[in-house]
Amino acid sequence: MNEMNQKIERCYDSHVHWLGTGDNLTMVPLAQMQGIESLRSLSIKPESFRDRWLLGFGWDEHRWLRPESVNRQMLDEVFPDHPVYFIRADSHAAWLNTLALKELEFWHPRGEGPHSSLEEFIPRADDGWPRGLLLEKAKFHAGTLLPEPTVSQCKALLTNATRTFHRAGFTHIRDMTCSARQWEAATSLDFAGELQLAVLQNFHVYNSAELPKILELARTAKLNQSPNLRVKGIKIFYDGSLGSETAYLSQCYCGRNHRGQIVYSEQEIREMVLESWSAGFEVCVHTIGDQAADDIVNLLQKMKVHGHQGSTHLEHVEILRPDTIAKMRDLSLTCHLQPCHWLSDKNWLAEKLGSLFPHVFPWAALENAGVPIFFGSDSPIEPPSVINNIQAVAELALQGISRPRQNSTHYQICPEPQLAEGSYTVFENGRVKDLFFAGQRIEL
């Protein structure tokens, strides 16, 4: 069947950030920046402020005419009066002005201050002071220190994001980053009959010390879950991103002397996985680099030998070596891939990865090994889109990356048939013509 003309039941994006997708619609759009000069001509709307904070999303210095590394002084010059927090396109780094560093208490000499345990994620300038970038753990921690949206702001953000998913054809999502506030807003929408989306919900743990608190939150949420809002598991970051060169590889990035970085020790991750399984939750681990995935698969194998096994999801798996895939059988693993990352990363992916490039987007090899796979977008990192994934799979086939066994839309069907029955999307010429959620027609 022509993939551009079809009816898809339970059209599903298997990896999104629901609240982040709504947030992205209000933040200063930074994806179009051509360079540092663009800071002066950004379109800044009142809703881009949360309290006094100016929030932005989507800068990527690799896409600038003259790529250069960013620093706090660049923001200080243009925004001297407001704390600024700009999220990188891959969401694994934040760019802050000096005021913001001070307000979040990152403005301390090396190894001092309340965030000294995050030192390795706080790049410093030659003078020893923070450069204005926060990476990985430090970035995610800083995110929790910003003023939180109120419940009603949060409801509006989730509703706007839902509209974005509908327009792209989705009735079902798997959300990766729920917080207490988001859960409160989502259940409130649902009780009011205003939730027109089926959500498989995961709770984000950004620091191992937070795990007991997050497990408690997930437990309470599960007691209150509804037919369309299902609590599934816990999401843990293990490595970073390819764009920031923090995804953990088995060899150095081409022309560099580093392989990326991991966020937790084996011992830490083992304890987090065990505790989450014993509390009855699935575990989702963010692994983009081939070595990150190999580490986790080795750990799961060891745990299995000791009688510990539970449902585990590997998120992204953008690069997997054949020896890692061979070890995945019988580990209750599911893999979630986002073909559309190719559309943004194709200009530099082969160059960065060198001899690892043939192992990117390993859908065919995973299927041959009997590992279930699903497709998504990582929205707002990429726009949610069935069509972009179709296009990326086709482009990658031309690069020598074997196609999956089925049409790509096959991997965008929610695996839980009882969830919001009577939901389907009709695509015509690649556009959404009609969308029904739980038997009800949605105005697009």
Taking residue 370's Cβ as centre, other Cβ atoms within 10 Å add up to 10
Based on CB atoms, which residue is closest to Zn ion, 98 or 202? 202
Rounded Cα–Cα distance for residues 324 and 280 (Å):
27
Sign (positive or negative) of CA dihedral 77, 83, 88, 92: positive
Based on CB atoms, which residue is closest to Zn ion, 239 or 378? 378
Based on CB atoms, which residue is closest to Zn ion, 290 or 378? 378
Report in angstroms how near the CB of residue 378 gets to Zn ion at its nearest. Answer: 4
Based on CB atoms, which residue is closest to Zn ion, 115 or 313? 313
Residues that bind Zn ion (CB under 5 A): 378
The residue type of 74 is M
Report in angstroms how near the CB of residue 173 gets to Zn ion at its nearest. Answer: 12
**What's the first-to-final CA gap in the chain, in angstroms?**
25
Rounded Cα–Cα distance for residues 355 and 360 (Å):
11
Report the residue closest to Zn ion, judged by CB.
Answer: 378
Do the strands 198-205 and 229-237 form a parallel or antiparallel pair, or are they unpaired? parallel
Report in angstroms how near the CB of residue 176 gets to Zn ion at its nearest. Answer: 5
Based on CB atoms, which residue is closest to Zn ion, 170 or 437? 170
Do the strands 53-59 and 93-96 form a parallel or antiparallel pair, or are they unpaired? unpaired
Report in angstroms how near the CB of residue 26 gets to Zn ion at its nearest. Answer: 19
Report in angstroms how near the CB of residue 300 gets to Zn ion at its nearest. Answer: 21
**Mapping DSSP to helix (H, G, I), strand (E, B) and coil, where does residue 192 land?**
coil
Report in angstroms how near the CB of residue 110 gets to Zn ion at its nearest. Answer: 31
Q: Which residue, chain included where needed, has tokens 């890692």? A: 324
Query: How far from 226 is each of 217, 276, 405, CA to CA, in Å?
Result: 16, 21, 34
Based on CB atoms, which residue is closest to Zn ion, 100 or 373? 373
User: What per-residue string of b and e applies to 387-400 under the rule 16 or more CB within 10 Å gives b?
Assistant: bbbbbbbeebeeee
